[in-house]
């Protein structure tokens, strides 16, 4: 069977754990080359050792740093661009973090980091990747008898709580509401130029996210009992493979993915 993402070059931020790591695995399985980013270099090296250095390159560092962002995109071109010096054409802005609590109750000392990681880093990578995608001659491929431009994607991880504001994590929610706005605005800007900007909004996914956000294990266990089985990182990764593997003229631009039993948020 043909691989769904053959000849694509991906950048995935936050690939040392959770959704990003699952995504790197699924992408490689579908024939895609991947540049993986996160701060924990040892985890990235493990991923590269498992998936093979022909398919995976790594750039360790803070995804909000402009120099790291440039290195990510340069590495995609240098490692996998081939003689045509192609740019990354599947950029997944996934790195992010949660924070339990409201404006009144959350740990204020973490607000700056949340805004920097969830919003500023996303905006910087959208800007850098978008500019490069616009500069590159997109080439054309034949699909079902019609000549179409080849797909180019920027996929952004929002959250269900960016859409349906949740009282238990309203500060985190507001960063994901910002991401939703950024994604939709960029979709309207780049869609007419053939670039698909897609927002993926998961609900509960069991990963390192809960510990980083500071959720109490007892509270999360209650959520599991109420809504479980929760989503796995692979569930979200498989959804993103599906979105990215559509023909270039088809754009599923907004996906909300929940555990079936989670009615709200």
Ligand X SMILES: NC(=O)c1ccc[n+]([C@@H]2O[C@H](COP(=O)([O-])OP(=O)(O)OC[C@H]3O[C@@H](n4cnc5c(N)ncnc54)[C@H](OP(=O)(O)O)[C@@H]3O)[C@@H](O)[C@H]2O)c1
Which chain residues interact with ligand X by CB under 6 A?
Answer: 13-20, 37-40, 43, 62-64, 94-98, 117, 157, 159, 202, 204-205, 207-209, 212, 233
Shorter beta-carbon distance to ligand X: residue 138 or 239: 239
* Cis peptide bond N-terminal to 101, omega within 30: no
Given its phi and psi angles, is residue 107 left (phi above 0), alpha (psi -120 to 50 degrees) or beta?
A: beta
Q: What angle do CA 201, 189, 68 make, to 5 degrees?
A: 65
Nearer to ligand X, 114 or 248 (CB): 114
**Nearest distance in Å: CB 91, ligand X:** 14
The sign of the torsion formed by the CA atoms of 50, 53, 56, 60 equals positive
Where would I find the H helices in 81-139? 111-115, 121-135
* Length of the chain (residues): 265
Our CB check for ligand X shows the closer of 15 and 190 to be 15
Task: Provide, rounded to whole angstroms, the least separation between the CB of residue 16 and ligand X.
Answer: 4
Please state the closest distance from residue 207 (CB atom) to ligand X, in A. Answer: 3
Q: Decide whether 39 or 251 has the Cβ nearer to ligand X.
A: 39
Q: Among residues 47 and 248, whose Cβ is nearest to ligand X?
A: 47
Q: How far is the CB of 1 from ligand X (least distance, A)?
A: 28
116-142 burial by CB neighbour count: b if 16+ within 10 A, else e? bbbbebbebbbebbbebbeebebeeee
Q: Give the tokens for residue 235.
A: 């569930």
Pull the structure tokens for residue 143.
Answer: 């699909």
CB of 253 to ligand X, least distance (A): 17
Shortest CB 119 distance to ligand X, Å: 11
Helix ranges, 136-255 (H): 160-163, 170-190, 209-213, 217-227, 233-244
CB 82 within 8 A of CB 89: no
Measured CA to CA, the distance from residue 6 to residue 110 in angstroms comes to 40
> Residue 122 or residue 248: which is nearer to ligand X going by CB?
122
Query: In angstroms, rounded to a whole number, what is the distance separating the alpha carbons of residues 28 and 35?
Result: 11
- Minimum CB–partner distance for residue 144 and ligand X (Å): 33
Which is closer to ligand X, CB of 29 or CB of 235?
A: 235
């Amino acid at each position: 069977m043909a691989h769904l993402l053959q000849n694509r070059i991906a950048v995935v931020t936050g690939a040392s754990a959770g959704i990003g790591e699952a995504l790197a695995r699924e992408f490689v399985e579908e024939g895609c080359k991947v540049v993986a980013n996160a701060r924990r270099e040892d985890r990235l090296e493990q991923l590269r050792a498992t998936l093979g250095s022909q398919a995976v390159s790594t750039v360790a560092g803070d995804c909000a740093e402009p120099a790291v962002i440039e290195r990510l995109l340069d590495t995609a071109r240098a490692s996998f661009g081939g003689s045509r010096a192609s740019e990354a054409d599947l950029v997944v802005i996934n790195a992010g973090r949660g924070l339990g609590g409201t404006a009144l109750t959350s740990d204020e000392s973490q607000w700056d980091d949340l805004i920097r990681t969830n919003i500023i880093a996303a905006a910087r990578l959208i800007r850098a990747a978008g500019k490069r995608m616009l500069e590159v001659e997109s080439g054309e491929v034949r699909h079902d008898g019609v000549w179409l431009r080849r797909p180019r994607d920027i996929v952004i991880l929002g959250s269900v709580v960016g859409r349906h504001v949740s009282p238990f994590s309203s500060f985190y929610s507001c960063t994901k509401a910002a991401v939703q706005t950024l994604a939709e605005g960029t979709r309207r800007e780049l869609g007419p130029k053939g670039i698909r900007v897609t927002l993926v909004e998961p609900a509960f996914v069991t990963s390192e996210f809960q510990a980083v956000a500071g959720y109490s294990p007892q509270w999360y266990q209650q959520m599991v009992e109420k809504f479980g089985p929760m989503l796995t990182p692979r569930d979200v990764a498989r959804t993103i493979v599906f979105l990215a593997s559509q023909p270039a003229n088809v754009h599923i631009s907004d996906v909300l993915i929940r555990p079936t039993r989670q009615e709200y948020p």
